[in-house]
Copies of this chain bind each other. A is one copy, B any other.
Amino acid sequence: MSKEITSRAADYSQWYNDLVLKGELADYSAVRGCMVIKPYGFALWENMRDALDKMFKDTGHVNAYFPLFIPKNFLSKEAAHVEGFAKECAVVTHYRLKNDPNGGGVVVDPEAKLEEELIVRPTSETIIWNTYKDWIQSYRDLPLLINQWANVVRWEMRTRLFLRTAEFLWQEGHTAHATKEEAIEETEKMLDVYATFAEEFMAVPVIKGVKTESERFAGAENTYCIEALMQDGKALQAGTSHFLGQNFAKAFDVKFSNKENQLEYVWATSWGVSTRLVGALVMAHSDDQGLILPPKIAPLQVVIVPIYKGDEQKAQIGVKVDEIIKELKALGIRVKYDDNDNARPGWKFAEYEMKGVPVRLAIGARDLEKNVVEVARRDTKEKNTVSLDGIAGYVQQLLADIQQNMFNKAKLYRDEHITKADSWDEFEKLLDEKGGFISAHWDGTAETEEAIKEKTKATIRCIPLNNSQEEGKCILTGKSSSQRVLFARAY
A binding-site residues for B, Cβ under 8 Å:
27, 29-31, 34-39, 42-43, 45-46, 62-77, 82-83, 87-99, 104-109, 117-120, 127, 130-131, 134-135, 140, 146, 150-151, 153, 155, 167, 169, 342
Contacts and interface: CB of A to CB of B under 8 A. Distances in A.
A63 B41 CA distance: 9
Contact of A87 (B63, B70, B90, B98): B98
B119 A97 contact: yes
Contacts of A96: 87-89, 91, 155
10 contacts: A27-B135, A30-B74, A30-B127, A30-B131, A42-B63, A46-B63, A68-B120, A72-B97, A72-B106, A92-B120
A394 to B, nearest CB: 28
Given A27-B131, A39-B62, A120-B120, 8 more contacts: A30-B74, A31-B118, A77-B105, A87-B98, A90-B94, A91-B95, A91-B108, A92-B92
Contacts of A109: 87
A43 B62 CA distance: 8
A29 B342 contact: no
Q: Which 4 A-B pairs have the closest CB atoms?
A: A76-B105, A34-B67, A39-B62, A37-B65
A154 to B, nearest CB: 10
A459 to B, nearest CB: 24
A106 B91 contact: no
Q: Which of A30, A38, A64 has the most CB of B within 10 A?
A: A30
A62 B42 contact: yes
Contact of A106 (B63, B65, B76, B93): B76
Q: How many copies does the complex hold?
A: 2
Nearest to A69: B31
Which among A69, A74, A104 has the greatest number of chain B C-beta atoms within 10 A? Answer: A69
Nearest to A126: B30
Nearest to A122: B97
A182 B38 CA distance: 23
A38 B67 contact: no
A82 B62 contact: no
Contacts of A140: 342
B65 A36 contact: yes
Contacts of A77: 105
A121 to B, nearest CB: 10
Nearest to A93: B93
A178 to B, nearest CB: 15
B36 A66 contact: yes
Contact of A94 (B34, B67, B93): B93
A185 B135 CA distance: 48
A223 B205 CA distance: 51
Contacts of A27: 131, 134-135
A117 B109 CA distance: 12
A62 B169 CA distance: 18
A77 B92 CA distance: 23
B36 A67 contact: yes
Nearest to A26: B65
Contact of A130 (B30, B117, B155): B30
A326 to B, nearest CB: 17
A27 B155 CA distance: 29
B106 A82 contact: yes
Given A29-B127, A30-B127, A342-B140, A91 B93 contact: yes
Given A82-B106, A91-B95, A118-B90, A31 B155 contact: no
B95 A89 contact: yes
A75 to B, nearest CB: 5
Given A65-B37, A88-B95, A97-B72, A117 B108 contact: yes
Contacts of A150: 151
A226 to B, nearest CB: 24
A88 B75 CA distance: 25
A106 B38 contact: no
A479 B89 CA distance: 58
Contacts of A36: 64-67, 131
B72 A108 contact: yes
Contact of A65 (B42, B91, B104): B42
Contacts of A91: 92-97, 108
Contacts of A76: 104-106
Nearest to A118: B31
Contacts of A119: 97
